[in-house]
Structure 1
Amino acid sequence: MTQIARTRDRSTPERRLQAERLLGAAALREAQALRFRVFSAEFDAKLQGAELGLDMDDYDGHCAHIGVRDLSSGRLVATTRLLDHHAARGLGGYYSEEEFRLDGLEGLEGAVLEIGRTCVDPAYRNGGTIAVLWSELAEVLNEGNYRYLMGCASIPMQDGGIQAEAIMQRLRERYLCTEHLRAQPRTPLPALDLPGNVIAELPPLLKAYMRLGAKICGEPCWDPDFQVADVFILLKRDELCPRYARHFKAAV
C-alpha cells in the first residue's frame, strides 16, 4: 500500500512525500539516475552506466525497487533496492557476498531480504524522508514474511580511513554481534592507529539501521569503486527496537 506523509523542518516548507513501488523500465532508470547523482557527487564513485548518467549493474533487473517521491515536484528523492532469497539463489548469491564471506547465512531460519543501493537526495535527508521509505519497506517485509533484513552500509574513506576507524570503534563496542552470522571482508581495511580522542558521526543511513535494532556482523570491507568502507548489517525482524518499530508497524 502506498504511503503518503507530510514532512516539514525549520529550513524547508511542508512537503508531501509518497512512498511507492518503482515498476517498469522508466521507473528503474529514474532510480538509477538518482543513484548516479548521489554516488558520483559524494563518493566520486566509478559507476557502470556513468556515460548514460546512471548507476546500474546486473543485479538491478532481479531486484524490487522502492522509492519516495515529492508530490509537489514529481521528483524521486529516495530509493533502495531489495533482493530476496529466491532471486539471489538464481543469481548464485547476494550482492553482499561479492564483498563478504557470510558464514552462517545458510543456517538462518526464515526468509531473508537484502537491501542495497539506498540513497536520498541531499535536500531531503531528514527523518521524515527515511520514515516514508521505511514504511514501504515494512510493507514488503510483511508481504514476503521476511524474518531477516541484511545489507551493507557505507562509510566514506576519502580521509584515508580515519572516520571509518573511529566509527568502527563505536560499533564494535555497542553493535557487534556474530551470533547469527559472521561477515568476513574479502578486502579488509588496512590497519590504522587512531588516537582515542577522535570522534566521528555515524552516516545517516548507518545510524538509521542501528536505531532500528540492526547489528554489525564483523569488520568492514574496502570498496575501491565507491571509495567507501562497507559495514555488513543484519536486522532480525523480531528484534526491532520498540521506539523505532512504528516505522515498520506493518511488518511486526
Structure 2
Amino acid sequence: MFNRFSKSRLLPHTYGVKVHKDGYQEWVKNIKIEGGVFESFHNIKLLPLEIQPETAASVSFTGANSIVPDPHDKNILIISSSKKSVSLSMKDNVIINLPAIPTVIKKASTTSQPETPGIISPDTEKEIIISNNEINVTWLRDSGSQPYMKTGQSVLMAKLSSVPKYVAWYQDSNYILYQIQGTFKMSEIDTRDGINTYDLIKTSSPLYYNNKNGFLYTISGKNILKYDLNYER
C-alpha cells in the first residue's frame, strides 16, 4: 500500500519537508518550488530505527569470511577461512554441508564486489561505479521520472574514507546499499538537496543482499541471519 500526499498553489519558495513516524528514521528535504514547475518525490521510504533479524540456520564452524550466491541466485554459500562451506537455500532455509567449495564459486569468492567494473541496477537503467573510495551512480538511459537524468549523467553518492566492503542495488533501483566501517547503510539516489542515508545494521561480517526476495543475509558466530528489507513506499 502506497501513501501519497500533494500540495498545490504554493508560492515560489524553498520549503522544508519532513516525513516521520514513530520508530522510523526521518526523510528530510528542502524543496525549491518555482512558478509553473511540478516537483515530485515518489520514492520516499521510512526505514525502521531497529531491524530485528531472523535466524535462518546454523553452521558447525566459525570464522566465515565470505557469502557468495550461486550462479542461479537460489542458494548462498557460506565459506570459512579454513575452506569449510555450506549451502543455504534462500527459498526454504535448508542448509547442506559441502565437502569442498564448488569450482564455479571459487573465483567469485576471492573477488570483492567493489572491484567489479560496474553494478547494474535491477531495472537495467543505472550503474554503480566505485573508484578511489567514491560511489557514483551513472544513468545508462534517460530517466522517465523525476529527478530527470540524461544518459551518461553521473552523481556522487558517497565519498568514503576507505573502499566499501559490499555494495549493491536495492530492489527498486532507487536506493543503493553499502557496508563501510562496520555499518550497513542505505542511500537514496535522488540527490536534490542532498541525500538521505540511513544506518540499518551494525556489522563487519560478510553479507549478501538478494534483490529478488528482499532479504539481507549475514553471519553472527555460527548463525546465519537474515533481515527483511522489503520496505513499501
Relative to its length, the structure with more strand (as a share) is 2
Whether TM exceeds 0.5 here: the answer is no
Q: Structure 1-normalised TM-score?
A: 0.23
In our comparison, the structure showing a higher alpha carbon Rg is: 2
Relative to its length, the structure with more helix (as a share) is 1
